Amino acid sequence: MSKVIYNVTIKVNHIIAADWRQWMLQEHIPMLMKTGCFMDAAFYRLLEQDDTDGPTFCAQYFCAQKSDYERYLNDFAANMRAETQKLWGNNLVAFRSIMEEQSL
């Protein structure tokens, strides 16, 4: 079975970028991993992007099967997104996608 990747791309306002990045690395990603829905995570800053409005980051969360991702959506996603909104408001925009690894 192929791995499933939950990808979140986030455009962050310059005003909060440093604090938000620290929060992602020290709080949000570890909290998401504690749900038990994901095997691993990765966090990137996109290069060669228009950073006029702020930097763009990408967080990827890896799960063994789609049912793990669906459990995250059903049991945890609403609270995680509400916490993000409460802390950072309209200072970021997130785009979410789900991907399935394809064998080479």
* Mean model confidence pLDDT for the chain: 95
Determine which helix (DSSP H) or strand (DSSP E) holds 100, and give its type and residue range: strand 92-100
Residue 104 pLDDT > 90: no
- 4-100 is a CATH 3.30.70.100 domain: yes
User: What ranges do the domains of the chain cover?
Assistant: 4-100
Render pLDDT for 33-73 as a digit per residue (tens, 0 to 9).
Answer: 999 999 999 999 999 988 889 999 999 999 999 999 999 99
Please report, for residues 27, 48, 54, 66, 103, the alpha-carbon distance to residue 33 in angstroms, rounded to integers and kept in the order given. 10, 29, 26, 16, 25
The stretch 17-38 carries a mean pLDDT of 97
pLDDT at 1: 61
